[in-house]
Amino acid sequence: MAAPGWSERARELLQRMNSFHGAGSPKGLCLPFMVAGQQVGHMPQSVAQRLCQYPAVFSVAQGDKAAACVELNKQLASFEERTAAVQGVLKELKEQQAFPCLKEWREELYNVMPYFCDAPLFSMERAATPLLGVKRYGAHLNGYTWRNGQMFMWLGRRALNKPSYPGLLDNLAAGGIASGLGVRETLVKECQEEACIPASLAAQAKPVGTVSYTYVGAHGGIYPECQFVFDLELPEDFVPQVGDGEVQEFYLYPLHKVKEVIGSSDFKPNCAMVALDFLIRHGYIQPDDEPQYAEMVEGLHRTL
Amino acid sequence: MAAPGWSERARELLQRMNSFHGAGSPKGLCLPFMVAGQQVGHMPQSVAQRLCQYPAVFSVAQGDKAAACVELNKQLASFEERTAAVQGVLKELKEQQAFPCLKEWREELYNVMPYFCDAPLFSMERAATPLLGVKRYGAHLNGYTWRNGQMFMWLGRRALNKPSYPGLLDNLAAGGIASGLGVRETLVKECQEEACIPASLAAQAKPVGTVSYTYVGAHGGIYPECQFVFDLELPEDFVPQVGDGEVQEFYLYPLHKVKEVIGSSDFKPNCAMVALDFLIRHGYIQPDDEPQYAEMVEGLHRTL
C-alpha cells in the first residue's frame, strides 16, 4: 500500500486528536461529572468506581429519567472546600499509584469550570484532569518572520527529559493556563521562560482564535483542550534562545517544511494543529487545492 | 430587565445559527437522508412523508438495528439519473405549492455530497436543499482598508427586493457555490457582480478558513452551511460600486461599528458570523476582554 499523502496524514492527526468523538470512543461509557449542578467533565467508569470509594467527596447519583452521573458532594460549597477535598483524594490515589497519569504530578493547579467564562468551581492538580475529563486551557504562539519576501516559522524541539512528548517539535512558546493566570499573561510568561522572548516583544503577539479538540489518552484519560492561539511577527534579526531548558533547540522552517512535518510523528500533535491553523489562516493552504480544507477547519475547532 | 450586552447578543446569534444542535431542535425527529449508502442530509419527517409518495425516487428504509432513514432509490446509479429524478419530484412539489421554501426557486443547482471533498452524488435546486437538509457551501469576502492607521471594513446593504434578508447588512461580496464552480471562482464572480471589484483585485483575496453552522429555518427546513472566508485588503482609494443590484449601497465602517452591528437585527446572521470571525482573527476581540471568546470560536466552526 502506498504511504498516505499529506491530506490523509493531516486528517488522521485531526481524527486522533478528536478520538473522543470518533468510532470506538469510550464517550458512551463515561459518566457526566457534576459540580454544583453543572457538568464540568466526563469520567471513565473505572475512575468513577475508584473515586466513589471516597463518598464524602464523590458519589454516583441516579436521576429520575437522567442517566447516572458522578457528583461532587454538594456540602462542599466553596471553591476552597472543593479544592481541598478533591486534592486530598487525588494525593492519596497518587501515593497508591492508582492511575499512571498521576506519576506526572506537577504541583500545578488548573481551574475547573463548565466554560472558560464561568467563575471556577474549584482547582485541581494538572496531571489529574484526564481522570475527571475536565477542560484544560493553554496559550500557544506561532512565531514567524520573513526572509527575502518568504514567510518562515520558528519551531522549538522539546527537551528529551520532558515527561510528555520528549524530543518532538513544538510551537515557539506554549503553556497551560494555571489557576490565577490570564491568557496573555500565560503567553508572555512562556515566551520569556521557553524562548527568551522579552516581554516587550511578546506583548505584540496578536490573539487570533483558538484550537479545540478532545482526545482519549493512552491510559483512557479524557483530554478536552482549548488552546488560545497567538501570532507574533518577529524581527528578522531576532533569534530565540533556550531558556528554562524545556526546549533544546529552535529551528527556522520555511512554510513548506512546516506543512511537511504536520501529521508526521515528529511534531507534538496539538502543536501541529496550531501550526495547521496558522497555514490555513495565512492562506498557505487554499480551499481549491486541499480537498480536506472544510473538514480540517472543523476538526481544528471542535466544541468542548 | 436591562437590554442584553454585546457578548450576550453575539452568543444569541451563534445559538440561533446553531439551533439544530440546541434545545428544542427537531434533530432527533429528522431521518438521515442516504444516497448510495452515504448520509448526505437530515430530513424532517413531514418532508419524508411527502417525498415517499414518489416511491420510484424516495423510500423509507429500516435497517436491522439502525433507525429508519430515507433512501434515494439505489437504481438511480449515476449523477445524471439522480439529478433528473430528484429535480422532477421537486418541480412537481413546487407546482403543488407543497412547501413554502420552494417559492424561492432560482433554477440554480447545488452539488450534493457527504463532504466537500467528495465527488458530487447529484445536484439539486438551491431553494429545495432545506427540505433534504443537505450541506450548502458559499464564499464570503471581508473587504478591509486603512484610514489614518485604523482598520475599516466595507459592508453592503442588501437590496429591498432580495427574497431573503432584504435590506440587511451583508459582507462586501458573497455567494453560494453552484454546481460546477470552484471556491475562488465563485468569490471572484461575486466580487465582480455585486461590488464591481475587478478580477485582478479580487484575485488578491486570501482564503483564511471557513465559518460553519446548522440552523433550523422558519418553516422547519434544515440549513447546514459552510462558508469559505476570504480577506481582501483594498487600496485606500478603492470604492465598491453597486453592480447587479443585489446590493443597494456600501458603507465603510470602523471596526467598533462593525462589532456593534454584529448580533443586531440589522446584519444578515451568517454574514455577521463572518465579520465576527474577522474581528477575532485580527485580534480586535481579545480573550482576556471577552468572556465568551472560546465559545464564540467554537460556535463559528461547528462540525456539519
Q: What is the pLDDT of residue B3?
A: 72
Using CB atoms within 10 A of its CB, is residue B138 exposed (0-12), middle (13-18) or buried (19+)? buried
Whether residues A125 and A141 share a domain: the answer is no
CA distance B198 to chain A (A): 20
Q: Helix H segments across chain A?
A: 6-17, 45-51, 79-95, 129-132, 183-195, 199-202, 255-261, 269-281, 293-299
A294 has a chain B CB within 8 A of its CB? yes
Return the residue of A nearest to B185 by Cα. Answer: A288
Indicate the residue among A132, A155, A178 that finishes a domain.
A132
pLDDT of residue B2: 64
Residue B62, pLDDT score: 79
Rounded to 10 degrees, the C-alpha dihedral B283/B287/B289/B293 comes to 100
We report the CATH number of the domain holding residue A174 as 3.90.79.10
Q: Which of A77, A100, A132 is the last residue of a domain?
A: A132
pLDDT of residue A240: 98
Show which of B114, B129, B144 is a domain's final residue: B129
What's the Cα-to-Cα distance from B72 to each of A136, A179, B37, B50, B59, rounded to whole Å? 44, 54, 9, 14, 7
pLDDT at A66: 59
Q: What percent of chain A has pLDDT over 70?
A: 98
**Residue B274 maps to a domain:** yes
How would residue A65 be classed by pLDDT, with cut points 50, 70 and 90? low
Domain shared by B79 and B107, yes or no: yes
Q: Is residue A9 part of a domain?
A: no
Cβ contact B297–A208 (<8 Å): no
pLDDT at A1 over 60: no
Is B109 within 8 Å of chain A by CB?
Answer: no
| B289 at interface of A, judged by CB pairs closer than 8 A | no
Structure confidence at residue A2 (pLDDT): 64
CA distance A219 to chain B (A): 27
Residue with cell 528529551: A160
Residue A14 within any structural domain of the chain: no
Say yes or no: B90 and B154 in one domain. no
CATH code where residue B99 lies: 3.30.750.160
Burial readout B227-252 (b: 16 or more C-beta within 10 A, e: otherwise)? bbbbbbebeeebebeebeebbeebeb
For the ranges A99-108, A177-186, A238-247, B64-73, which has the lowest average pLDDT? B64-73
Contacts for A303 with CB less than 8 Å, ≥ 6 apart? A212, B298, B299, B302, B303
pLDDT at B168: 98
Count the domains in chain B: 2
What is the mean pLDDT for each group of 10 consecutive residues in chain B (304 residues)?
A: 85 97 92 97 96 96 76 97 98 97 95 96 98 98 97 98 95 98 98 97 98 95 98 97 94 98 96 98 98 97 98
Residues A111 and A244 occupy one common structural domain: no
For residue B50, the enclosing domain spans 31-129
What's the rounded Cα separation, in Å, for the pair B109 and B126? 6
At A67, the pLDDT band (50, 70, 90 cuts) reads: low
Nearest-CA distance from A118 to chain B in Å? 8
Let me know whether A51 and A165 are in one domain. no
d(CA A49, nearest CA chain B) in Å: 31
Is the minimum CB–CB distance between B203 and chain A shorter than 8 Å? no
CB A225 within 8 A of CB A216: no
- Mark whether A61 and A204 lie in a shared domain: no
The answer to whether position B304 is within a domain reads no
Sign of CA dihedral A280, A286, A289, A295: positive
A268 and A215 co-located in one domain: yes
Strand partners, B138: B176, B227
The reply to whether A204 touches chain B by the CB within 8 Å rule is no
Interface touch A280/B184, C-beta < 8 Å = no
How far is Cα of residue A297 from the mean position of the Cα atoms in its chain? 17
Terminal Cα-to-Cα distance of chain B (whole angstroms): 36
Pair (B84, B212) in one structural domain: no
Q: Is residue B230 in a domain?
A: yes
C-alpha cell at B11: 452568543
pLDDT digits (tens, 9 = 90+) for A188-225: 999 999 999 999 999 999 999 999 999 999 899 999 99
Strands (DSSP E) contained in chain A are 31-35, 38-43, 58-62, 68-72, 109-112, 122-125, 136-147, 150-158, 169-171, 173-176, 206-216, 222-233, 247-254
Is B184 part of the contact surface with chain A (CB cutoff 8 Å)? yes
Q: Do B286 and A208 touch (CB under 8 A)?
A: no
User: For residue A282, which residues of chain B lie inside 8 Å, CB to CB?
Assistant: 206, 208
Check whether residue B96 and residue B158 sit in a common domain: no
Residue A260, in any domain of the structure: yes
**B88 and B81 Cβ atoms separated by less than 8 Å:** no
Distance CA B162, CA A48 (A): 56
Together in a domain, A113 and A248: no
Q: What is the mean pLDDT of residues A37-56?
A: 96
pLDDT > 90 fraction of chain A, expressed in percent and rounded: 93
A241 pLDDT above the threshold of 80: yes
| Mean local confidence (pLDDT), A138-142 | 98
Q: Does A88 share its domain with A170?
A: no
Judge if B177 and B85 occupy the same domain: no
Query: Residue B31: in which H helix or E strand, if any?
Result: strand B31-35
Q: Is residue A1 part of a domain?
A: no
Residue A236 lies in a domain: yes
> Dihedral (C-alpha) B94, B19, A29, A212: value to the nearest 10 degrees?
120
